Structure 1
Amino acid sequence: MNTEHRIVILGAGYTGMLAAVRLARRTRKQHVRITLVNPSPRFTERLRMHQVAAGQELADYRIDDILTGTGIQFVQGWATSIDPAAGHVVVDRNRTLPYDDLVYALGSSTDTSIVPGAADHAWTLDNPRTARHFADRLNAVAAQGGTLTVCGGGLTGIEAATEIADSHPELRVTLISVGAPGTMMGDKARGYLNRTLDRLGIIREIGSAVTKVLPDAVELSNGTIVSADMTLWTTGTRVAPLATQAGIETDARGLIVVDQTLRSISHPNIHAVGDAAAVRMPWGQIHGTCQSGMPTAAYTADTIARQLRGKTVRPFRFGYFHQPVSLGRRDGVIQFTRSDDTPGRCYLTGRLAAAYKESVSASPVPLFRFSRRMNVPVKLKAGRPATTQPA
């Protein structure tokens, strides 16, 4: 008779990796088998893809190395289906992994399906390989004094546009956004952002949506044609259809609908974390960022460990703290926020802000490594310990 409690974690991004190593630490004295599934053997720093796009090299973090000493089994492959009734996941259509608890951490990717031509003619920063190919092509375009159009004025678009403009001053960079860049910031932080965009020579096309992406241009809803030797698409996200296809209850976007303990309301032994989960707080739904995703992963690891011990579980609670934005390697703007992510009074700019953002981007891998040896608190809100719970 099999007495092992089998836990399968899908996705080894920021949330899946933290859930795995923290869960291994929390259950080290129990008869638990943890399996982590991911298509790539490398841990991808999604927070740094704009740096790769600008031609910078990142550290090569291998998942096996991060998992050293944890006892976690790493399976490289694509999760192709889930059978909640049978309690198993199929990997690469030929390997079956049974589970007692499933942690769904597949995350999201850039949605290029909404606007005609985006999938065919625009680049995305979804993975290091694509970002490196983009950087190689960008070098050739920059050498000819060419043009780059960045579609999307959110944080990803801002960071990509400024990083590239800072690294390639010979490029003509245009940022296209329906709303003004930095609308999530307060007036002073947004003013600093706009002055930085001016300093870097970034042209803004504000107020019109992209209606079509052409091989050498972008067409806007007001009829304007913006020429582009390269187009970078950073707006809109989509999630993997795996959960919906499996009959797990999802919302209109395909996010798993969860209860107050981040368990699927249709299949309670399935836990969703990060931007794969539709998580609601009293002030509204959490949006998918590393800032909110890491706490969901830590909470879920603690929750499963407590449930295995027969202990009670507190509901998940979360509040935002900041919006850190890099503006090249030597500049940045940090907007400190209220719990509901609306801007507060405090902000930080310049080199101090760049150092602050770098510390945020660099923190996950050390957190994973520390979590192999000790129970590391995950902060949610200005010094208040997160939703983490004693095991």
Structure 2
Amino acid sequence: MTTDRTIVVLGAGYSGLLCAIRLARRTRRLGVSVTLVNPSARFTERLRMHQVAAGQELAVARIPDLLEGTGVTFVQGMATAIDTARRELTIDTATGVRPIGYDRLVYALGSSTDTSRVPGADRHAVTLDDPRTAHRFSTRLAELAATGGTVTVCGGGLTGVEAATEIAEAHPGLRVTLISRDAPGALMGIKARAYLYAALERLGVAVRTGSAVTKVLPDAVELDGGELVPSGLCLWTTGVKVSALAADSGIAVDERGLILVDAALRSQSHPEIHAIGDAAAVRQAWGPVHGTCQSGLPTGAHAADTIARLLRGKSAKPFRFGYFHQPVSLGRKDAVIQFTRHDDTPRRWFLTGRSAVSYKEMISGTPLKSYRLSKHMTVGASLSKGGRATRKPA
């Protein structure tokens, strides 16, 4: 069966990879071709990058291996332009520039850490965006630990907390300082947050809150009061930015560069483009969805299901999502899990200790298992659809 229905998924992060695999299975009898484009052939487990930074070796998951048996065509390259009128991508590959046409495009380029807003952060700080960078950081970390040096982790979000505790546990000879304008774990309940603070104290992590970083120097971090915090290595985990590709291509975006989407995650300006994960400005009745793996996987699954429905002549359904938990590792031997309402505000219930470690490991390992299972069956991608709160339009 031949068809001109060509679907391209741009980006093979958590959302894009699930979307491509699920889409191929849902459309396998429709004669649809699915192509997945990504700069690297290695799948990045961003949920585990703090482990790599602390010196742990992870098994390498290759995208072509994860796609094996799905019928999805993998193209290793970077998209440099989208011609929305011609419905054509310009892809820069190792063998040269090539065009790829599409009838439908799934835009899943995700986000990265923004080091542009603070002077010196782009030159003297390291991010967890790339496993190669995280691995080089771990090598420098081991050298610094031998001399009892100091490491600063800038950003008190969950990623910053996980990185600080992982580093402190793996290298007890280091002096680790977590710097944050707000209190670490601010979105957690009082008891879960107290447990998190106790873990930071137990591991010897110094916490500096209430101050903003104004400059990153080769050997120190400058705070807004002028104080210099010694820093042999600086890990930057705060601030998010997205690719300018969508905006540059004339696709409607919000003030952050996220693609404006309708209730079914289709671009408001170009309905043949579906935006998922961190690249999409997704709203629910209770408010905006912030970018996490927890919300990204369901958007990828929903886009695949929507396209399959449209190709069968059915109408698109609105995306429904609610948060369920905030899982945080505190080194390899401890963790805290804050269970939440659909809008990510904390419930009374939380989990700590060994049970929380097992829970967190299960969550971190779920995406790869889901990809393998999705080749053969429809796998649930969301722990919560938000209940009654998402049954009305946003």
- Normalised by the size of structure 2, how large is the TM-score? 0.96
1:180 aligned to which of 157, 180, 183:
183
> Which residue of the partner structure matches residue 68 of structure 1?
68
Which string of whole-angstrom CA distances, capped at 9 and with x for unpartnered residues, describes residues 300-333 of structure 1? 0000000000012221111000000000111000
> Which residue of the partner structure matches residue 221 of structure 2?
218
Q: Residues 110 and 383 of structure 1: is their aligned pair in 2 closer, same or farther, counting only changes over 3 Å?
A: closer
CA contact under 8 A between 1:159 and 1:325: conserved in structure 2?
yes
> Which residue of the partner structure matches residue 272 of structure 2?
269
The yes-or-no answer on 1:255 pairing with 2:250 is no
Alignment map for 1:331-370 (pairs within 5 Å): 331-370=334-373
> Which residue of the partner structure matches residue 141 of structure 1?
144
Which range moved further: 27-36 or 93-102? 93-102
Alignment map for 1:104-143 (pairs within 5 Å): 104-143=107-146
* Count of residue pairs the alignment pairs up: 385
> Which residue of the partner structure matches residue 5 of structure 1?
5
Q: Compute the displacement of 1:383 (Å).
A: 11
Letter of the 2:48 counterpart: R
CA contact under 8 A between 1:295 and 1:380: conserved in structure 2?
no
2:286 aligned to which of 253, 259, 283:
283
Alignment map for 1:1-391 (pairs within 5 Å): 3-92=3-92, 94-381=97-384
Q: Compute the displacement of 1:382 (Å).
A: 8.2
CA contact under 8 A between 2:321 and 2:382: conserved in structure 1?
no
Distance in 1 (CA, whole Å) between partners of 2:116 and 2:357 is: 34
SS of the residue 2:151 aligns to: strand
Distance in 2 (CA, whole Å) between partners of 1:378 and 1:233 is: 30
Q: Compute the displacement of 1:380 (Å).
A: 3.1
SS of the residue 1:288 aligns to: coil
Q: Residues 76 and 179 of structure 1: is their aligned pair in 2 closer, same or farther, counting only changes over 3 Å?
A: same
| Structure 1 residue runs without a partner (length 5+) | none
CA contact under 8 A between 1:321 and 1:382: conserved in structure 2?
no
Q: Compute the displacement of 1:3 (Å).
A: 2.5
CA contact under 8 A between 2:213 and 2:224: conserved in structure 1?
yes
Distance in 2 (CA, whole Å) between partners of 1:112 and 1:89 is: 28
Distance in 2 (CA, whole Å) between partners of 1:120 and 1:50 is: 20
Q: Compute the displacement of 1:378 (Å).
A: 2.0
Which string of whole-angstrom CA distances, capped at 9 and with x for unpartnered residues, describes residues 321-372 of structure 1? 0000000111000000000000111000111111111100001111001000
Q: Compute the displacement of 1:224 (Å).
A: 1.5
Q: Compute the displacement of 1:246 (Å).
A: 0.2
Letter of the 1:296 counterpart: T
Q: Compute the displacement of 1:127 (Å).
A: 0.6
CA contact under 8 A between 1:15 and 1:294: conserved in structure 2?
yes
Q: What's the RMSD between the two structures over aligned residues?
A: 1.4
| Structure 2 residue runs without a partner (length 5+) | none
- Normalised by the size of structure 1, how large is the TM-score? 0.97
Distance in 1 (CA, whole Å) between partners of 2:379 and 2:316 is: 18
Distance in 1 (CA, whole Å) between partners of 2:226 and 2:189 is: 31
Letter of the 2:203 counterpart: L
CA contact under 8 A between 1:22 and 1:301: conserved in structure 2?
yes
Report sequence identity in percent.
65
